[in-house]
Structure 1
Amino acid sequence: MNFLEGLAGLPPDDLFTYPPPPSVPQSPLGEMVPVRALSCPLLLFLLLGLWVAKIPINVKPTNTTSAQWFEIQHVQPSPQACNSAMGKINKDKKNCKNLNTFLHESFSSVATTCQTPSIACKNGRKNCHKSQEPMSLTQCEYTSGRYPDCKYKGKQLDAFFIVACEPPQEGDKKYSLVPVHLDDVV
């Protein structure tokens, strides 16, 4: 006995011999329409909504290399207030990023870190590199507001940083390896 038979309390042949109640959808020919046919578009819509909600907000913008996006997100030679500095980062995804770290060095200085010995990244890949000395940086932590009025609290510190490096893409500055991800601050 399947679920519908048990629910209806009717033998299998009786399930479809009685006219359906008025709330059951019918085709123009008076036939019952399977409920799954009606719920399929709704199910697809719900699944699409869940998929879109899972898109990470820190994905780089189109027409930007990973190194260029790293520079936008993390390289800030002259310290700026977090609320204004985060505006450019939040603009593309139209969302408030929870945490971001700015390195107060030039891109070329950060790129030289890619020449230090390789170490394991948090994800297990062996393309990370640790700075040779502590550097000035600012960590901007989201506190309140909704895009575009995101509010941040800044924390200044001197610390080592670990970056993931990869070969440059077309359009990148000419280095043998370029930073593409800030993996950690230690």
Structure 2
Amino acid sequence: MAFQKNRSLLLFLFLTLLRLGLIQPSDGQSHMYQRFLRQHVDTQGTGGSSGYCNLMMQRRGMTSPQCKPVNTFIHESISDINRICSSCNTTCKNGQMNCYRGTVRVTECTDTGAAKSPNCRYWARTNTRPVVIACNGNPRVPVHFDQ
């Protein structure tokens, strides 16, 4: 139930920002941005435990058809995450120049390999660290967690 509430809140916020003209991604960018939010953003959570990772990975659809090996959740406001896209750009792992650095609170969930999909099991590591995020659009919005 809390997941549905958070998801509804994120969707409401995104639609409000679109209506206000603060975000105007193309259809492709909108899809990529929504995917980024689903896979990497938890503004309400603090992470930190294997139970958190097990629950969030399943709720966010990353345990089927196979266990996603590693996923990072960012625990900052959406506006703070979007703000990373206006920092100085840096080279992405794929050589593109649309990546940006920021320092955020994160929980990294890593598959333990102890269970098969959809009952994946994860261990958690929570800290504040630098991240690299790929951004696209005008204005730029995050579309990929690079590192």
Q: Confirm or deny a common fold (TM above 0.5).
A: yes
Range 72-81 or range 97-106, more displaced: 72-81
Q: What does 1:9-158 correspond to in 2, within 5 Å?
A: 65-77=31-43, 78-80=45-47, 81-87=52-58, 88-90=60-62, 93-131=64-102, 134-143=103-112, 144-158=114-128
2:117 partner SS: coil
Q: Which has the higher contact order (CA 8 A, sep 6+)?
A: 2
TM-score, normalised to structure 2's length?
A: 0.71
Q: State the 4+ residue runs in structure 1 displaced beyond 6 angstroms.
A: none
1:117, distance to aligned residue in structure 2 (A): 1.3
Deviations 1:20-51 (A, max 9, x none): xxxxxxxxxxxxxxxxxxxxxxxxxxxxxxxx
TM-score normalised over the length of structure 1? 0.57
Q: How far apart in 2 are the matches of 1:128 and 1:135?
A: 15
Task: Work out the CA distance in 1 between the residues paired with 2:109 and 2:76.
Answer: 16
| CA–CA distance in structure 2, aligned partners of residues 107 and 94 of structure 1 | 28
Q: Give distance in 1, aligned partners of 2:62 and 2:117.
A: 8
Instruction: Determine which of 127, 143, 147 is the counterpart of 1:180.
Output: 143
Pairs aligned (count) = 111
3-state SS, counterpart of residue 115 of structure 1:
coil
In structure 2, list runs of 5 or more residues that go unmatched.
Answer: 1-29
- Partners of 1:164 and 1:135 in 2: CA distance: 15
Supply the RMSD in Å over aligned alpha carbons.
1.5
Larger Rg: 1
Query: How far did 1:167 drift?
Result: 0.4
- 1:73 positional shift: 0.6
